[in-house]
Amino acid sequence: VQLQASGGGLVQDGGSLTLSCVASGSTFAINSLGWYRQTPGRQRELVATHTPGSGINYSDSAKGRFRISRDYAKNAVHLQMGSLKPEDTGTYYCHARTYPSEGFSGVEYWGRGTLVTVSS
């Protein structure tokens, strides 16, 4: 599975930005698709994920401001980010996990990060 992310950039405090990620390769094996964020000195953290059957999971900071959507026909996932704050600044990574099997949680894949900078 390969993940190609796009949509990062510079935006002002309170602005909006949409990230997109398109998966290719063995897309039939993908279960969850989502986004993680990493900032200097911190571990990569979940922003939002979409998992069939389990639904959508948002970080507390993303709830109410971000919206994740999945396009199964295009093997894509989008993250609409609104009311952006400087603390949302970071490198955003597209993430995919394959279907789990007995005793195995699935394989994880990561796209190259896309930088989001929110200026105050």
What's the pLDDT tens digit per position in 85-103?
999 999 999 999 999 888 8
- What's the gap between Cα 40 and its chain centre? 18
Q: What is the structure's pLDDT at 102?
A: 86
- Range with lowest mean pLDDT among 15-24, 98-107, 110-119: 98-107
The rounded distance, in Å, linking the Cα atoms of 62 and 48 is 7
CA atoms within 13 A on the CB side of 78: 10
* 3-class DSSP assignment, residue 109: strand
Could you tell me which residues come within 8 angstroms of residue 71 by beta carbon, excluding any fewer than 6 positions away?
77, 78
